[in-house]
A = this chain, B = another copy of it.
């Protein structure tokens, strides 16, 4: 409609929860942001043809297909969104990259770091823009937290505690799922990846780790009803050392009964501190030693137009954005990067970094010893 905007067509692989989230993301990003590109939802692929058709109608795509390779083969499609099962990410992404397309892949990039590395290197060689779905980082309050740290509002950073705990695996009678796959599964991989991404987003690179991965429910039934040994962690902990000199810890826990979204952190500096919980992700709690004596305390900063891009969603403070809005912010950042405006928010190289950290922590846990982070 606007002659000045580049049009870009999107192909989506996968129609489940994350497929829907990607579709929302593209639609909402276009509505909320004044994007430099115009997105067209072109084709959606699902191995089940009827499902593909239903999703096309529901999500607003022009076409449906049962074969994801149709998307790769379509020269008009510029962006491929991959929300298929983790084990398929690599094949799909490499095919899309080979076809010169930008690739937006749900996390984890791949079950194993070596695969993620191949994907990142292929994308970089091809010069396409990539994105991995770490949407918690797109929260305006996390951007605020990072900006405050970088601006020195907390002084020298000294300590960090990160957490991502939920309870969707707390029921011991629940079945074995793909998340229990020894290749890439476990609470640390599923949730700890978020905790690690947030830790490095805020404090910079982790240099050393000491892992503690624990299997709590050691057997579950598989789809056939047979009891199978669980080989992945239900709780994954790590001590951390950061390049900036700070130390810290993270915990990933998917058997944390009662917790639904405890992606939390506290960061302590010489002049201030921050505390955050994803349970109330429109708030950031800030303590400053600059406050007057007898008037100091953690103050609850509510998300507001002063914290971009909150104001694009709502002109008034305190009204709160939702989980799906984080996805829209992520997509907008990615589309800007595709247009040449700024870096990708979290590209394949960043996704590889998280996979590497995870494997180092898992290896450290097996060896019961501290470990330098690889690469």
Q: A304 CA to B166 CA in the complex, in Å?
A: 13
Q: Mark A289-300, 1 if CB is under 8 A from B, else 0.
A: 101011111111
Measured between C-beta atoms, what is the minimum distance from A328 to chain B in Å?
10
A272 contact from B30, B161, B257, B291, Cβ within 8 A: B257
A: number of interface residues (CB 8 Å): 90
Q: Mark A240-261, 1 if CB is under 8 A from B, else 0.
A: 0000000101010101111111
Measured between C-beta atoms, what is the minimum distance from A16 to chain B in Å?
9
Task: Tell me if A313 counts as interface (CB < 8 A to partner B).
Answer: yes
> Number of copies of this chain in the oligomer?
4
With contact pairs A158-B216, A249-B249 given, residues A320 and B258 touching in the complex (Cβ less than 8 Å): no
Task: Tell me if A129 counts as interface (CB < 8 A to partner B).
Answer: no
Task: Tell me if A58 counts as interface (CB < 8 A to partner B).
Answer: yes
Q: A301 CA to B56 CA in the complex, in Å?
A: 35
Q: Mark A258-282, 1 if CB is under 8 A from B, else 0.
A: 1111000010111111000001110
With contact pairs A23-B31, A271-B257, A322-B313 given, residues A1 and B57 touching in the complex (Cβ less than 8 Å): yes
Measured between C-beta atoms, what is the minimum distance from A282 to chain B in Å?
8
Complex interface: chain B residues within 8 A of A59 (CB): 31
Measured between C-beta atoms, what is the minimum distance from A369 to chain B in Å?
7
Complex interface residues of chain A between 132 and 174 (CB less than 8 A to chain B): 144, 154, 158-159, 161, 166, 168, 170, 172
Q: A325 CA to B212 CA in the complex, in Å?
A: 39
A268 contact from B256, B270, B319, B321, Cβ within 8 A: B256
Measured between C-beta atoms, what is the minimum distance from A140 to chain B in Å?
10
Known: A31-B60, A296-B299. 7 other contacts (CB 8 A): A27-B28, A257-B287, A258-B272, A259-B273, A294-B304, A297-B299, A321-B324
A residues lining the B interface (CB < 8 Å): 1-2, 17, 20, 23-24, 27-28, 30-32, 34, 56-60, 144, 154, 158-159, 161, 166, 168, 170, 172, 210, 212, 214, 216, 234-235, 237, 239, 247, 249, 251, 253, 255-261, 266, 268-273, 279-281, 283, 285-287, 289, 291, 293-302, 304, 306-307, 313-325, 368-370
